[in-house]
Amino acid sequence: MEKENFKEEFDKLKKEFPYLTVEDQERMKKDFTYHPPKADQVPRYNEIRSQAEAFAAGLMQMCPPSRERSLALTALEEAVFWANASIARNE
């Protein structure tokens, strides 16, 4: 039944978005659906954040306040996000 519903939904979207592929729709569903954490994932999320926080503290200590330091911290924040998303979306 779910497969039929998926096909109906895809056919509707295909009319509006002619370049939409099945892979595109699957990616959209995967990327924009809430993925509640499983019990075994929470410790890994916490460890990733903890290691990033330690690294951020080192950056704050060694790098002078600047746009570059700010960008480095933003990139680290983004790395944490993507690391956690890899766990949430692929397990």
At 16-61, the pLDDT tens digits run 888 888 898 888 888 888 999 999 999 999 999 999 999 999 999 9
Tell me what pLDDT residue 1 has. 41
Tens digit of pLDDT for each residue in 11-24?
Answer: 787 788 888 888 98
Here the tokens at position 1 are: 């039944």
Q: Are 52 and 79 in contact (CB under 8 A)?
A: yes
Cα separation, 69 vs 34, in Å, equals 32
Q: Place 3 in a pLDDT band, splitting at 50, 70 and 90.
A: low
Cα separation, 6 vs 2, in Å, equals 6
Here the tokens at position 45 are: 């999320």
Tell me what pLDDT residue 4 has. 67
Of the chain, the percentage scoring pLDDT greater than 90 comes to 64
Here the tokens at position 4 are: 């039929």
